[in-house]
Every structure is written in structure tokens, then in C-alpha cells.
Structure 1
Amino acid sequence: MELELQEEEAVNFGKSLIVPSVQELAKQPTIDIPPRCIRSHEDPPIATHDSCLPSVPVIDLQKLASVDYELERLHLACREWGFFQVINHGVSISLLEKFKLEIENFFKLPYEEKKQLWQEPDNHEGFGQLFVV
């Protein structure tokens, strides 16, 4: 029973909405920013001559299991940024280059071919733009 509950919680990340891809939005004249893209409750970063703009968080996977502050950095990156750069992951450069080439080839496919792999509502897997609410 407890395992079933954990599995159910792990799958339920929240509701999601399918929204148009950025490539499709770019084909249409747009005057207004879609409301789902506006985050008015957050203060914009302030840059002065004394400070620099924030940079993308970097997470060291070798330190993640052994250093407490690296886990805290990962948590902050997920909560505040939604993404991060990973270093010391152990993945070979050749595999990363092959992966990059496959991604580029995928994005060169016609829209109709990519749409066959499109995400479905309330499913976070697949290609497309999900807006999690």
C-alpha cells in the first residue's frame, strides 16, 4: 500500500497544459506576451555597476553525494531557476556530440513528424511545450 502511494505521488507532478511550441508561435505575428509567460510576482534582477547579472547555476555531480552544500545548490537551482548546468558527470565528449547531433536532426524534421511524439495532457514525457500549473 505504501509503495503504491509513493508511486502515485511520484507520477503526480501537477496538472499540465499543452501549449503551442515556440517555433509555431514564431510563425504568427505576436504583439502581446502570452499571460502564462509573465511572472509579475517576481522582482526583475537588478544590475548595477557594482554587481553582475546572475549566472546559470553549476552543479558538480561528483560532489553531490558527498558534500551537503552541493545538494542545497541543486535544490536552489531547481526552485529558483528551473534548470542548471552539470559538471563532472562522467559522460564522454563523443557521446555528448552524438547526442547533440541527434537533437539537431530531430529539430530539422518537419513539424508533422515531430508532432507524432507530442506530449499529451497531464503527461510530462514527449516532445512539445508543457505548462505545468
Structure 2
Amino acid sequence: MEAKGATYYNSIIVPSVQEMAKGKMIKKVPQRYVRSGLDKAEITDECGPRTKIPIIDLNRLCSSTYTASEIDKLDLACKEWGFFQANPNFLDKLKSEIQDFFNLPMEEKKKLWQQPCDMEGFGQAHVVSEEQKLDWGDMFYLLMQPARLRKPHLFPKLPLPFRECLEAAIIRLSILLLCLL
């Protein structure tokens, strides 16, 4: 059975922010990308040193020689925070491949452009009106799991190193999830 993917959103296609900025198509940031002061989140440092979110070493946690202290840190993070930070080292290669993808020529990225009525692909996330405030940045949204929902017109067109890296990351994250369960 061929994977068809799922369409969840009706999204308007908008120009690439990267190309607008690079190509000097604009003299100033278009109004739809400018947010009022009301839209800005306030960042404070009032919480003090007690609020450090635990960083969990997932490699250590899932190894056969794991330590009770790592399990205790995970337990504390889940009870007090409801989430935790993971040591990002295992994502370094994926981050590099993502950067390489965004540095591709626009002609290559256009092959992966969002389709009307579909959020997956290269472009902007969930644009529903011409008046909507948008983020000043492009994104690439791709559903990876379950594999049967992958869009056949997107995944095979990704550069091979990026595709292989995504697959490896999914496998690694799946193993990690099983370990945590």
C-alpha cells in the first residue's frame, strides 16, 4: 500500500523569507512580519538559580551501565517540570544536515515547496489569511512518523545525506523512547 500522507491544514503559500532578504526584493521588513509590542513575550530572570531545568544525558540513561542519579534527575524533571532538556550532542549531525538543506539554492527547495491546502514542505507554517502576522523565517515541515503518513512527493526528493540522517535520528529516537518506557 502506498503512503499517502495526511492533510491537516489549509495553508496559503507565501514567498520565501530567505529569498526576500537575500535578493534585496524589499527595502524594509513587510508589515505582516512586524509584531506589535503586545505580541512579544516578556523574558524575565526572576526565578533564580533553583529553576535550572535538568539536562538528561540520554546516552547514559539508556546504557547498560546507567546510574541511579540519571534516573533520579529524570524523575525530578518529570515531577517538577513536566519535561526535561536532553543533551543535544546526538543531534549535531542532524543540525548540520538541516543547515545544509536551508543553504540549498532556491531552485532545489522549490521542489519541496508546500502545496496548497498542505502544511508539509518548505515555506511558512499554517498561513490562513493575508492579514496574519508571520514569523520572519522559512520552515520545512515534514511528518516522519508513522512512516505510512510520509508524503511520497517530499521525502524521496530530500538530499540523500539529509534523508539518511533523518532516518537514523528517527531510529535513534524510537530506541530512546522504548528505553524511557
TM-score when normalising by structure 1: 0.50
Aligned position for 2:137: none
Percent of pairs identical after alignment?
41
| CA distances 1:16-56 after superposition (whole Å, capped 9, x unpaired) | 22111122111124234323223337165679xxx66xxxx
Aligned position for 1:98: 93
Contact 1:17 1:130 in 2 (8 A): no
TM-score when normalising by structure 2: 0.39
| CA distances 1:70-117 after superposition (whole Å, capped 9, x unpaired) | 37xxxxxxxxxxxxxx7127x7x24x1211221122123221111101
Aligned position for 1:120: 115
Aligned position for 1:82: none
Out of 112, 123, 127, the position equivalent to 1:132 is 127
What does 1:39-58 align with in structure 2 at a 5 Å threshold?
Answer: 39-40=35-36, 42=38, 44=40
Find the structure with the greater CA-based Rg: 2
Aligned position for 2:153: none
Give the number of equivalent residue pairs. Answer: 98
- Name structure 1 gaps, 5 residues minimum: 1-9, 53-57, 72-85
Q: Secondary structure at the match of 2:122?
A: coil
Aligned position for 1:80: none
Misfit runs of 4+, over 6 Å: 58-61
Contact 1:17 1:132 in 2 (8 A): yes
